[in-house]
Chain A
Amino acid sequence: MAEIEVRLVDVTKRFGDFVAVDAINLEVRNGEFFSLLGPSGCGKTTTLRMIGGFEEPTHGLIELSGQDVTWLPPYRRNVNTVFQNYALFPHLTLGENIAFGLRRRNVKADEIKKRVADALELVQLTGYEDRKPGQISGGQAQRVALARALINRPAVLLLDEPLGALDLKLRKQMQVELKRIQQEVGITFIYVTHDQEEAMTMSDRIAVMNKGHYEQLAGPAELYERPKTRFVAGFLGVSNLLPVKADGNADAHAVLRLPDGTAARAPRALMNGHTGPVALGVRPEKIRLKAPADEVGGQYNRLEGVVRDASYIGVSTQYIVELRDQRRITVFEQNVERATKAELWAPGEKVVMTWLPEHSFVVPDEGVVEQVGIAAVE
């Protein structure tokens, strides 16, 4: 069991009447890449700023490496931050920017020189120390900000949407680079982002935040495959959610009855802990479309519907299938068996949707939305 590097106990932050962070309890392990993911205003940045020391919690406790730092100013904490807008000092050269932290700690001049060179090499900017921040690109500024923080060898590195200002291609490149650097230096990263793909790509664990608290904390795969709430199901990727009633068990599966009477199954363990109404969820790419006459194995869930829309996206095709009660289901099908446009399912065709019960998930149903989330196309 890895040791705990950052611990938040009941941390709350109010701005006037607004509760930005609502009694969060969190443990970040030593050396992990931890993400706080959520929409704007969910409290993720405020949480990060409290760990960094830029905001004081209204109440609660923050521990770094076992030490209570709740009331310490930023300069007395062994953490460093990569700011969203880089925050490089415009009047200093890149070398002076990077050496800023070491200078404040009275490190010897020749060691500073060596470590600045190492840091520049780590972020692949060797030879740039005499330039000014105004003379480099956004991607380079981002890397300098990273070097300036990492050179101090902090216990934890805080990153506040560091890739937000970069274009898509550069962002993808930097994601890979960040992960590489994190593994190379072995420092705990706490990463704030609203971009679910970014969080999924890099993180060991993700806390999905909403309205001042986190709804689920897990690894990327578990968050995607087994979201615990409607919000998580909708924030990470696309989900189809159907209101269901529990209707006993069949073997290892719980039987869930849809409003139109169709029975679907889901692993029995997924029903644990649910007391109120629930919704059955399935991801669009888990569903296969079959013709009504096709043979379907007994291990599959079956659901009949009519194709209403087909959008060809190249790698896959997105279908909207309407059920008898007019709920709509999104289905992604790889363009393998039906590759050309003529072979696709056409609007109006009757189809049977099939998926394995194990690919289902169950969330509490507050009973409003049929389908949440948007396609992950930007």
Chain B
Amino acid sequence: MTAVALAPSARPKGSVANRIDRVFDRWSMIVYTLLAVIYLLLPVAVIILFSFNDPPGKTNVVWHGFTLKYWLNPFGPDGLGSAVVLSITIAILSTLIATVLGTLMALALERYQFRGKSFANSLIFIPMATPEIIMGASLLTMFVSIGQPPFFPLNFVTILIAHIMFNISYVVVTVRARLAGFPRHLEEAAMDLFANEWQTFWRVTFPLILPGIVAAALLAFSLSIDDFVITNFTSGMSVTFPMYIYGAARIGIPVQVNVIGTSIFLIAVGSVALTTLAGRRKRG
């Protein structure tokens, strides 16, 4: 014991402690990774599994047996189909508008000096820093106070406005991160090679910041499609997919919700896989 403590190098290589060390070195990382993956994916696995469940009653919490019937009839329950369509429509529109506006704002904030720039800079962070519940409540107050019908009935338009608002912040921050390291001399080189400002943007600037814009758009889409709090305040009589689930939870969530949840998950994973593959092929 004392000898080991005094001269650690003298510890024999084949000792038990040493062997445990080596086994631990080799396996600890793998075990830890596995545990982390399980922790992250277990809820998703449960959702997928229960989309094939065949419960006798309205509650879908106990496994009864395998069936495909809910996959074959995903929009069975009343109002589910229209809620999904509304959510997807709002997600697509708010993503498009927020990405375009946010990218332009990011370019302006990163490239130009103008009056009110620092003010605009700090405004960008407010929607991200404010608790959603507060923002939802104040949006409701605002829409109601300025908007008796026909100006702002609470509906599709108010949800869209709210989603665009919080999405813009995330888009600006994401695109700016990409622009911050942008090599400006490439734009000078393009102008030197007879490209005017418009051509320089589309031929050089845009392709190079595109990964940032795509990342921003994906982020905006996922933020929009599952937003509940703000949407709940601004939707009036409209019902989005998350609101439908919330409403259904009181009497029992239909299995179709799991089906649609699984589909969204698969589409998301699939599109990420596709972009990664495309990126790899381009670089290779």
A residues near B (Cβ < 8 Å) are: 52-54, 73-75, 79-81, 83, 85, 87-91, 100-101, 104-105, 148-149, 152
Contacts and interface: CB of A to CB of B under 8 A. Distances in A.
A74 B191 contact: yes
Interface in B177-217: 183, 185-186, 188-196, 199, 203-204, 207-208
Contacts of A105: 194
A83 B185 contact: yes
Contacts, number: 58
A132 B191 CA distance: 21
A101 B191 contact: no
7 contacts: A74-B188, A75-B193, A80-B193, A87-B183, A89-B186, A91-B207, A100-B195
Given A87-B183, A89-B186, A80 B204 contact: no
Contacts of B196: 73, 75
Nearest to B204: A89
B188 A101 contact: no
Nearest to A77: B192
A73 B191 contact: yes
Contacts of A74: 188, 191-192
Contacts of A83: 185, 188-189
A322 B58 CA distance: 106
B194 A101 contact: yes
A87 B185 contact: yes
B186 A87 contact: yes
Contacts of B208: 90-91
A320 B6 CA distance: 61
Give the interface size bracket for B toward A: 10 to 19
Contacts of B191: 53-54, 73-75
A89 B189 contact: yes
Nearest to A85: B185
B240 to A, nearest CB: 38
Contact of B192 (A52, A88, A90, A91): A52
Most buried by A among B183, B188, B189, B191: B189
Given A89-B204, A90-B208, A91-B208, A101 B193 contact: yes
A105 B194 CA distance: 7
A89 B207 CA distance: 10
B192 A104 contact: no
A103 to B, nearest CB: 9
Nearest to A160: B185
A81 B195 contact: no
B282 to A, nearest CB: 9
B193 A100 contact: yes
Contacts of B207: 91
Nearest to B207: A91
Given A101-B194, A104-B199, A152-B193, A54 B188 contact: yes
Contacts of B195: 75, 100, 104
A81 B194 contact: no
Contacts of B183: 85, 87
B188 to A, nearest CB: 6
Contacts of B185: 83, 85, 87
A280 to B, nearest CB: 46
A240 B185 CA distance: 42
A80 B192 CA distance: 6
Nearest to A90: B208
Contacts of B188: 54, 74, 81, 83, 87
Contacts of B194: 75, 101, 104-105, 152
Contact of B189 (A73, A87, A91): A87
Nearest to B186: A87
A354 B210 CA distance: 70
Contacts of B190: 89, 100
A105 B192 CA distance: 12
Interface string B151-194: 00000000000000000000000000000000101101111111
A146 to B, nearest CB: 13
A102 B108 CA distance: 30
B206 to A, nearest CB: 10
B179 to A, nearest CB: 15
B142 to A, nearest CB: 43
Contacts of A87: 183, 185-186, 188-189
B278 to A, nearest CB: 14
A148 B190 CA distance: 11
Contacts of A148: 193
A149 B186 CA distance: 14
Most buried by A among B190, B194, B196: B194
Contacts of B204: 89
Top 6 closest A-B pairs, CB basis? A101-B193, A87-B189, A104-B194, A74-B191, A87-B185, A75-B194
Contacts of B203: 100
Given A74-B191, A91-B208, 12 more contacts: A52-B192, A74-B188, A74-B192, A75-B191, A85-B185, A89-B189, A90-B186, A100-B193, A100-B195, A101-B193, A101-B194, A152-B193
B199 A81 contact: no
Most buried by A among B186, B193, B194, B203: B193
Contacts of B199: 104
Contacts of A54: 188, 191-192
A104 B189 contact: no
A90 B189 CA distance: 12
A163 B188 CA distance: 19
B186 A81 contact: no
A101 B195 CA distance: 8
